[in-house]
Structure 1
Amino acid sequence: MINPSHQERPGKIQTPPISSRPWAGAFIIMAGIVALLLGIGLSVSYGAADIPLATVWNSVLHFNAELTQHQIIHDIRMPRVLGGALVGACFAVAGAIMQGMTRNPLADSGLLGLNAGAAFALAICFALYPGLSYTYLIVISFLGAGLGAGLVYGFGSFSKGGLTPARLVLAGAAVSALLAALSEGVALYYQIGQDLAFWYAGGVAGTKWQELKVLFPLVGAAILVAIVISRSITLLSLGDDVARGLGLRTGWIKTIGMLVVLLLAGVAVSVVGAVGFVGLIIPHLTRYLVGVDYRWIIPCSAILGSLLVVLADLAARLVNPPFETPIGALIALVGVPFFLFLALKERREL
């Protein structure tokens, strides 16, 4: 455990000791990448038609469009698995940033209404403007996530005593239920329930290369920005007063961080639907392993989040073959008990 102490100029608050384990972070990144590559290989290999790993590797190095198995790998399974990896990184990094900026251990894009807001915006889009390109769907999801976040923080700010973690989660649950009900109403009125069923259930089965070409630069840029501001998020996690005393422009950092969260949440929902708990579980696990330094938390969360969604998608195809179980339901089996544990722990500490 490393506890660096920096000497500050007179008039400034001295930086508090920051618990971090760089060796653990480096190990997680290296081992996580290996595990992720193995998980991607297994996920591409197993499905309705099992394909040997040697064939998967051969299709990557020497793709032959005349072979049926190569077509299945290239056109169906690879986009699906890579989309799942991107979605996992999006949810996990978004959750880590939210928990760091708000100092709220229960913060998650699903629990705070961002996912429901993006899904509601997609419902409006499917009803009024069907056939839009995927780029426009991402923009709509981004705006919807912003609507959800605005409603949650707006309603939560009316509570007496300020925005405590429990009140913020309650506001998020209320707003999510409201937006979900409105989405259902839009689906019934415009008869688009079948189109929205995929987003409600959660899954990456429909991911295509055209979508990934849009996703990769957006997600890569957002995670890069998150890494750049990671030290500032670490200071914010110590408290606004400490961060300001150290010369941090908290308003700018929070604005940039929130834009990154909205982009990541909007992109993820546009691919996989309103899947929750990834951004809740992974940052907590990462902090337990590497400490509270977000310079390690953010990249490690991205890798572990990708691994979780890839493995969940693989399990979704193996639980009840040849049918698929929604990955949102599988992740919720772990996420709900974890959330209840955190909620009870938070209550005991109040």
Structure 2
Amino acid sequence: MRSQRIVPAAILLMAPVAALFLLYLSVLYGSKSIPTEEIWNALFHFDAENVDHQIVMASRLPRAIGALLIGAFLAISGALMQGMTRNYLASPSIMGVVDGSAFLVTFAMILLPGTNSASLIALSMLGSALGAALVFGLGRLIPGGLTPVRLAILGTIVGTFLSGISAAAASYFQISQGVSFWYNAKLHAMDPAMLKLALPFAIVGLTLALLLAKSVTVMSLGDDVAAGLGQRTDLIKVLILLVVVILTGVSVALAGKIAFIGLIIPHIARFLCGEDYQRLIPVSGVLGGLFLAFCDILARFVNYPFETPIGVITALFGVPFFLYLIKTRGGGKHA
């Protein structure tokens, strides 16, 4: 019990140092290496005529910050979904939330080609809600549909269905190249203006997640226990889904579909700090951000000087982990 308090505190204390180190590596390395001195000058003595300074400020720094934030958002979303459903296999990428977001973004590009960044973020959130509603709605209609494996199967079916429609529509309307951004998750195309615009939404989502942490801990004990303790379970579930929709929608709007972070990281955080979501949520956020930033750096060297899609890197970790969970914990809900 004591270690479950000390370890999270140590992680949170070390997180700023680890984040700064990964930020430095992310800005330093790429198809063109930039000397440390030039990075320093770009940050504190910016010269608009200097190409290296432009690369640092307009591309690599927003990309690194975006990776840290998006990893945190997806990991926290996964932790909340697992706590709410008591399902070890729950995550935004498996439960159709990410695919729903990308689905609506695709049709926005087809039907509303002049959509501004704020509207795109809002539509991405609405798509996240659509994906979640389809999966959990079908789960309620099918006998035993809310069990972990069946819910994961439903999520995969709904996600594949939405992705297929999106791909077909993009091909028919000849916008496949533009839509590929949301399906290949190219962090190097991070838009600094959209990143700034997304921050208020992200702050709201993160604040709600932390405020709900105690309620999620109770919810993870089961609906009957939570109701017996006086918790308004339906309201809490709606608020949890709202947070997941906000954080996932922002993530997809910024960088497209990135899988498995919401599945892997909450389990690692749970192993380190136990089932108390007041510790688990911030630790998941920290580990998720660091993990995606690390994967983004790794993606630059797998096939250097070409970049490997970040989804391939996360899948290398995520697929074996997913199969392990199905084998060991797929048959029931966690306690």
TM-score of the aligned structures, taking structure 2 as reference length: 0.96
Q: Displacement of 1:349 after TM fit?
A: 6.0
Which residue number in structure 1 is paired with residue 206 of structure 2?
A: 223
Query: Which residue of 194, 206, 209 maps to 2:189?
Result: 206
Which residue number in structure 1 is paired with residue 260 of structure 2?
A: 277
User: RMSD of the alignment, in Å?
Assistant: 1.4
Which residue number in structure 2 is paired with residue 6 of structure 1?
A: none
* Local SS of the residue matching 1:21: helix
Larger Rg: 1
Q: Does 1:254 align with 2:248?
A: no
Partners of 1:56 and 1:73 within 8 A in 2: yes
C-alpha separation in 2, matches of 1:29 and 1:186: 44
C-alpha separation in 1, matches of 2:66 and 2:42: 19
Q: Deviation above 4 Å: which 4+ runs of structure 1? A: 347-350
Task: Give unpaired runs (5+ residues) of structure 1.
Answer: 3-19
Which residue number in structure 2 is paired with residue 69 of structure 1?
A: 52
Q: Does 1:193 align with 2:173?
A: no
* Local SS of the residue matching 1:229: helix
C-alpha separation in 1, matches of 2:324 and 2:283: 23
Over 3 Å counting, the alpha-carbon distance change for 1:282 and 1:49 in structure 2 is same
Q: Displacement of 1:265 after TM fit?
A: 0.8
C-alpha separation in 1, matches of 2:111 and 2:260: 30
- Counterparts of 1:84-233 in structure 2, within 5 Å, are 84-233=67-216
Task: Give unpaired runs (5+ residues) of structure 2.
Answer: none
Q: Does 1:340 align with 2:323?
A: yes
Which residue number in structure 1 is paired with residue 18 of structure 2?
A: 35
C-alpha separation in 1, matches of 2:96 and 2:267: 20
Structure 1 stretch 329-338 or stretch 147-156: which is displaced more?
147-156
* Local SS of the residue matching 2:92: coil
What residue identity is the alignment partner of 1:120? F
Q: Displacement of 1:201 after TM fit?
A: 1.2
Query: Which residue of 222, 228, 232 maps to 1:239?
Result: 222
Q: Displacement of 1:66 after TM fit?
A: 3.0
* Residue-pair matches, total: 333
Query: Which residue of 261, 278, 285 maps to 1:295?
Result: 278
Which residue number in structure 1 is paired with residue 64 of structure 2?
A: 81
What residue identity is the alignment partner of 2:26? S
Partners of 2:71 and 2:288 within 8 A in 1: yes
Q: Displacement of 1:32 after TM fit?
A: 2.2
Q: Displacement of 1:302 after TM fit?
A: 0.9
Q: Displacement of 1:347 after TM fit?
A: 4.2
User: How big is each residue's C-alpha offset from its partner over 1:75-120, in whole Å with a ceiling of 9 and x where there is no partner?
Assistant: 1111111111111111001000000111001000000001111111
Q: Does 1:268 align with 2:251?
A: yes
Which residue number in structure 1 is paired with residue 39 of structure 2?
A: 56
User: How big is each residue's C-alpha offset from its partner over 1:39-72, in whole Å with a ceiling of 9 and x where there is no partner?
Assistant: 0110011011111234323322332323221111
C-alpha separation in 2, matches of 1:236 and 1:33: 31
* Local SS of the residue matching 2:114: coil
Partners of 2:89 and 2:330 within 8 A in 1: no
Which residue number in structure 1 is paired with residue 7 of structure 2?
A: 24
C-alpha separation in 1, matches of 2:197 and 2:69: 12
C-alpha separation in 1, matches of 2:70 and 2:25: 18
C-alpha separation in 2, matches of 1:56 and 1:26: 31
Q: Displacement of 1:33 after TM fit?
A: 2.2
Partners of 1:202 and 1:327 within 8 A in 2: yes
User: How big is each residue's C-alpha offset from its partner over 1:157-185, in whole Å with a ceiling of 9 and x where there is no partner?
Assistant: 22223510111001001101110110011
Over 3 Å counting, the alpha-carbon distance change for 1:247 and 1:349 in structure 2 is closer
C-alpha separation in 1, matches of 2:331 and 2:246: 34
TM-score of the aligned structures, taking structure 1 as reference length: 0.92
Q: Displacement of 1:36 after TM fit?
A: 1.3
